[in-house]
Amino acid sequence: MRTQFESPIVLLGSRLLSPYIMLFGIYVIFHGHYSPGGGFQGGALLASSVILIRLSGGRIVSRLQVREFFTTPLAAIGVIVYFGTGIVSILFGSYFLDYEALPFPGGLDPAALRYYGILVIEIGIGIAVMAILVMIYDHMARGEDYV
Amino acid sequence: MKYLKIFILVAFAGLLIYGSLDLPYRGDADNLMHSQRSITDTVVAGNYFIQEAYNDANTPNMVTVVLGDYRSIDTLGEQVVVFTAGLICLLILRRYRPI
């Protein structure tokens, strides 16, 4: 049962599929203003593309893509991006998470500022969800992986 | 006993189908949930979101505006819940060094 070996066919297929899944995840995050989608869905897609390489290639190959110790700080960074947006909008004289006072350059009106504020928090959600799913997979698969 | 189960299932399905015949049509503008005042003459919140979501945030997708702007603190709570679940998985699944 423990005779695990690397399959080049599976690795080649996953290497073909993974960039397109990742591109679609980024599209779902950034196009969430116009079509169904958003941070949670796009983050799950990004995590699936990373986990696909981890499943097929093992630890040595997947270390080239996202290192294992990056995932926990990345999850915290995602939460901090969201929370920091709220804190910044307090500091510039508005309510918590009311984006009409965010200091974006260009002299935008409040509606456009809300547009970009929603985009920033969606990126934060996507980073956090991706990092957390990859982190759970890494801690579950540690020790069971082939070297 | 088997026929009784089948009869109960069919009867329940018929009841549900009979109930669904009276549902309002999707997207009908005269529905109660789309009206500006409800039956008890209070302001309906969803009507405001439908009318003003584009003007408030320049975003055509109404769901994104409700999720990210009107109810953004709720979404922050969801993200913190996901983050906490990940941290708990880290604490449980982590390989500790044997003492």
**Interface residue A99 vs chain B (CB under 8 A):** yes
Residue B50 has pLDDT above 90, yes or no: no
Residue A145 has pLDDT above 70, yes or no: no
| 3-state SS assignment for residue B43 | strand
Please tell me which of the candidates B58, B86, B94 has its beta carbon nearest to residue A112. Answer: B58
This complex has an ipTM of 0.86
CA torsion sign for A27, B62, B58, B73 is: negative
Q: Residue range A134-139: average pLDDT?
A: 90
Give chain B's mean pLDDT. Answer: 88
Q: Is residue B38 part of a domain?
A: yes
Q: Is residue B55 part of a domain?
A: yes
- A47-101 tens-digit pLDDT: 999 999 988 888 788 888 888 888 999 999 999 999 999 999 999 988 898 888 8
Select the more confidently predicted residue: A147 or B70. Answer: B70
The per-residue pLDDT for A138 is: 87
**What would the DSSP string read from start to end of A7-53?**
-HHHHHHHHHHHHHHHHHHHHHHHTTTTSS--HHHHHHHHHHHHHHH
Q: Is residue B3 part of a domain?
A: no
pLDDT band at B97 (very low <50, low <70, confident <90, very high): low
Interface of B with A in 72-91 (CB under 8 A): 72-73, 75-76, 78-80, 82-83, 85-86, 89-90
Q: Residue range B66-75: average pLDDT?
A: 91
Which of B14, B95, B58 has the alpha carbon at shortest distance from A109?
B58
Q: Is residue B9 part of a domain?
A: no
Phi, psi of B37 (to 5 degrees): -120, 140
Instruction: Provide the number of structural domains found in chain B.
Output: 1
The per-residue pLDDT for A4 is: 65
Phi, psi of B43 (to 5 degrees): -75, 135
Q: Residue range A24-30: average pLDDT?
A: 94
- B36-46 tens-digit pLDDT: 888 888 888 88
Select the more confidently predicted residue: B76 or B35. Answer: B76
Q: Is residue B69 part of a domain?
A: yes
Could you say which DSSP state residue A101 is in? Answer: G
Select the more confidently predicted residue: B45 or A2. Answer: B45
Which of A88, A128, A117, A104 has the alpha carbon at shortest distance from B59?
A117
Q: Is residue B14 part of a domain?
A: no
Please tell me which of the candidates A75, A121, A139 has its beta carbon nearest to residue B83. Answer: A75
pLDDT band at A1 (very low <50, low <70, confident <90, very high): very low
Residue in B closest to A76 by C-alpha: B83
CA A54 to CA A6: how far, in whole Å?
Answer: 12
Residue in A closest to B94 by C-alpha: A139
Q: How many CB atoms lie within 10 A of CB A11?
A: 16
Q: Is residue B6 part of a domain?
A: no
Select the more confidently predicted residue: A142 or A31. Answer: A31
Select the more confidently predicted residue: A6 or B4. Answer: B4
Residue B99 has pLDDT above 60, yes or no: no
The per-residue pLDDT for A142 is: 77
Contact criterion met (CB < 8 Å) for B93 and A112: no
Q: Is residue B37 part of a domain?
A: yes
Its domain, for residue B73, covers 27-93
The per-residue pLDDT for A3 is: 60
